[in-house]
Amino acid sequence: MRALAIKKSSSEKTTGFQEMGTLRCDGCGEEFFISHDPKSADKWVAAKQAAWLEKVLTKVLTEEHNRDKKHSDRIELPD
């Protein structure tokens, strides 16, 4: 597991990971840290992952809001 998006408000911490940026859900304002393994931290990859998370998961996050379901505390990101 090289990269995760971790919900800022969760009790799960980013210990052992380097925070690469933050992404906010348009539906509820929940923020997610994009976190990388420090050995493979890459700002360009983090930017691609943020775009992927925004584009691909927007539908999933919207569906979660429609069902009054909370977001997962962590989301594995593609390389």
Q: Say which residue the tokens 């992952």 belong to.
A: 49
pLDDT at 47 (0 to 100): 94
pLDDT of residue 23: 87
List the domain boundaries for the chain. Answer: 3-76
* Cα–Cα distance measured from residue 39 to residue 46, given in angstroms and rounded to the nearest whole number: 14
Closest by CA position to 19, among listed 31, 7, 36, 32: 36
In sequence order, the β-bridge partners of residue 27 are none
Output phi, psi for 78, to 5 deg.
-70, 155
pLDDT tens digit at each of 79 positions of the chain: 589 998 888 877 767 889 999 988 877 888 899 999 999 899 999 999 999 888 767 777 777 777 777 778 888 898 8
What's the pTM value of the predicted model, to 2 decimals?
0.77
